[in-house]
Structure 1
Amino acid sequence: MHSWPGGAENRHSTGHAELVPYWFRQALSKKPTTTHVSPENRPSDISQSSSQDSPPPLGPSSEVSPTLPPTHMGADSSSSSSGRWSKDYDVCVCHSEEDLAVAQELVSYLEGSTSSLRCFLQLRDATPGGAIVSELCQALSNSHCRVLLITPGFLQDPWCRYQMLQALSEAPGAEGRTIPLMSGLSRAAYPAELRFMYFVDGRGPDGGFHQVKEAVLRYLRALS
């Protein structure tokens, strides 16, 4: 019969400890080590979960730019706010009541031309029920050019004289804006208020209509 090293005393002092191998007891006595994960060595699943919880950072392609106010100064808008289309009419024809037929012929000629000039004819375009003074002043201010059909009836009509003085007071120095068309009068009868302006002689074959149209177009071209 063999005996364990150390005798019976050792067997009683250690009990069952001798039955457990030494390497197993060493393994049990070791403390578990805690693995510290640095930000650089963080697992991919952790980074993915954190990226899902928080919004991704803004890159150069996703930067939020400040909201700019809408612009209204394009090519079309700038041209519509100035130039020919800034007023309702191209020509306002000022005439006496007895010269209505001649004024209608002039308007038909200007509107029927290739330029399709926009004309204001008082008895045709004035607002029904409107005050005469207000309508006349509004027509003059809303027209680029004013054609004064100067005839013997024009000089005797107080409203025609009012329109002439109103046109001169609004644009005394605007060359080409007020166009006198004299018909049936001698040069001596030409109104003194218009002596500093050249007039169109209506004794020609077309009644001076062509010259009036060219004068209006010249003024409109200067606006653009």
Structure 2
Amino acid sequence: MNTIKSFVHKWVWLMLIFFCIAGLIYPKVGIAAVICMLAPVAVSIFSGRMWCGNFCPRGSFNDILISKISRNRKIPRLMKNKWFRLLFVVVLMGAFAVQLSFAWGNIVQVGQVFVRMILITTGLSIILGAIYSHRAWCVICPMGTMASWVTQAGIGSKGKNVTFDKQRCVSCKLCIKSCPMEIDVLNFKSKGEVTHPDCLKCGECVIKCPKDALEI
């Protein structure tokens, strides 16, 4: 399963490129975006934000490409605030809903609304990723935020978290430094597992741990 996830994550970013190009040429393709919009929330019911960390085309795009140009600066605290994330969800999804209501009944225009939304958010993702952490967008992504809410509710996600081998852990903090979401992984050591709702299950902390004290 890990091999499959790694392969998908390595190449699924190509779907984002294809979607953007094909959507501009043939707008009806845009409707397919609904899959990637609903999937993070649906998967979070069972596995937290695993979709975001392993199967999301934009997440893959950020990890594979944007990470190479990112300045790796701290994500602004404002972006992590609950009220800001809620406001961003309301504003972005509200604007999306209004556009969709005007386009409803015309499949071409509906597709254009989806394509436009993906292009705008991808542009924001690139800008934020280049200036801050390559996964900065994932902190405020509306679908990711909603997936985080579902995860926080604890619906069926137990047993899918990063876990600690407390005996091996030497508190070197490399797990914290490697986390693209800037989660204080070590803070969950006493608990034995990382239950933070924004953990992407990407495995970066597992890979960077020199003592093999972490696993998913």
TM class by smaller structure: under 0.3
- Which has the larger strand fraction? 1
- Choose 1 or 2 for highest CA Rg: 1
Using CA pairs below 8 Å that are at least 6 residues apart, which structure has the higher relative contact order? 2
